[in-house]
């Protein structure tokens, strides 16, 4: 079945440093890929999404590029802020109904 893999459970960084959160996927059909962010005690919210191969997608300083050749959709930011501390989920959907999430990566940013 479809699956999404996030290899890092926890990433800790100092404010101002760059970050990359890894996401790889396995799907039968050409997928949509998403990044969701969940702040403490809140619901997950969409951060960005893409279905276009090799095109960079950006939102709120975060960016990601879907690479179908390597089945990857890594999330990056050039300079993290304290407010970026949250749980980040990568997700995959195939245009139909089923949306599958990865296990999540917790990002902790320190002063």
User: Of these, 44, 64, 77, 86, which contacts another protein (CB under 8 A)?
Assistant: 44
Name the residue among 66, 65, 68, 84 with its Cα closest to residue 19: 84
- Residues in the chain, how many? 111
Q: Judged by CB under 8 A, does residue 45 bind another protein?
A: yes
Quick one: 96 or 111, whose CB is closer to another protein? 96
Closest-CA residue to 14 (of 103, 85, 97): 85
- Binding footprint of another protein, residue count (CB under 8 A): 26
- Segment lying near another protein (by CB under 8 A), choices 18-26, 61-69, 74-82, 96-104: 96-104
Residue of 39, 55, 59, 98 interacting with another protein (CB under 8 A):
98
Cα-Cα-Cα-Cα dihedral sign, residues 52, 47, 92, 78: positive
The span of 14-22, 60-68, 77-85, 97-105 binding another protein (CB under 8 A) equals 97-105
Query: Which of 86, 72, 92 is closest to 22 using CA atoms?
Result: 72
**Spatial distance between the Cα atoms of 97 and 92, rounded to a whole number of angstroms:** 11
Q: Which residues bind another protein (CB under 8 A)?
A: 1, 6, 9, 32, 34, 42-46, 49, 51, 89, 91, 93-104
């Amino acid at each position: 079945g479809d699956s999404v893999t996030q290899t890092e459970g926890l990433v800790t960084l100092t404010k101002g440093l760059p970050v990359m959160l890894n996401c790889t996927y396995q799907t039968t059909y050409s997928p949509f890929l998403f990044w969701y962010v969940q702040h403490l005690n809140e619901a997950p919210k969409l951060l960005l999404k893409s279905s276009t191969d090799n095109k960079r997608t950006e939102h709120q300083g975060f960016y990601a590029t879907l690479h179908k050749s390597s089945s990857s959709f890594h999330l990056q930011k050039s300079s993290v802020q304290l407010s970026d501390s949250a749980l980040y989920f990568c997700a995959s959907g195939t245009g139909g109904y089923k949306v599958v999430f990865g296990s999540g990566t917790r990002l902790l940013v320190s002063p």
